[in-house]
Structure 1
Amino acid sequence: MIAYSPLAQSLLTDRYLGGQVPAGSRMSVGHFLKEEALTRAGLARLRALGELAERRGPSLAQLAIAWVLSETRVALVIIGASSVDQLDQNLDALAGGSLSEEELAHIDALTC
């Protein structure tokens, strides 16, 4: 399986955790990611995932990429960074190590 947009068009990044839509973000442009995607329930899940990422060490984006890579059926992840800095940060997900069974269970509980 090839995973496309593992950051859900940037929704699974730290930029939306405050509940605001930053100027220049994909959500502010609204082509694929619309402001309607930032619901109260969705924001609560994002924040809970952000707390898990903070405890673990990487950013929310790195946690999301590590989660996708934890799936044994995934052969390739297309991350689609818009800058070299984002690419470097996303590649750092590889250095964070595998997610534990407890972390995977926690993510599943938050997202199902």
Structure 2
Amino acid sequence: MMTKREIYTILKMTASYYDQFVIDQEKVDNWHKVLKESTFEQCEQRLMYYAAASPYPPKLCDFANKPAGAGRAIPNCQETLEVLWQTDKQASNEVAKFHMEKIRKILGIERGS
């Protein structure tokens, strides 16, 4: 469990790597709410890896413990093919007529009788 002092130390380290990173009391409090269940060593290690790879200051989510299954789901080849080959349903005649009339009204087009 991390203390606010440890959070401040992580933020101070971050500020030493990134000049544009600003520390204030609100940031310490908010980061503590999210990171209090992490350990100092975990956050320090994440910061080291992050700083070595990115020229931009980290966000809170770069340090937070992510639950299993969190993040983006990447489809496999079969799922991708299914999405690519889906055919869109045709709109009913009533829906098409309704929207065509709406477009004509917006464009100021009068339909001849």
Q: Note whether the superposition's TM-score is higher than 0.5.
A: no
State the TM-score, normalized to the length of structure 2.
Answer: 0.28
More strand by share: 1
| Higher gyration radius (CA) | 2
State the TM-score, normalized to the length of structure 1.
Answer: 0.29
Relative contact order, higher structure (CA 8 A, sep 6+): 1
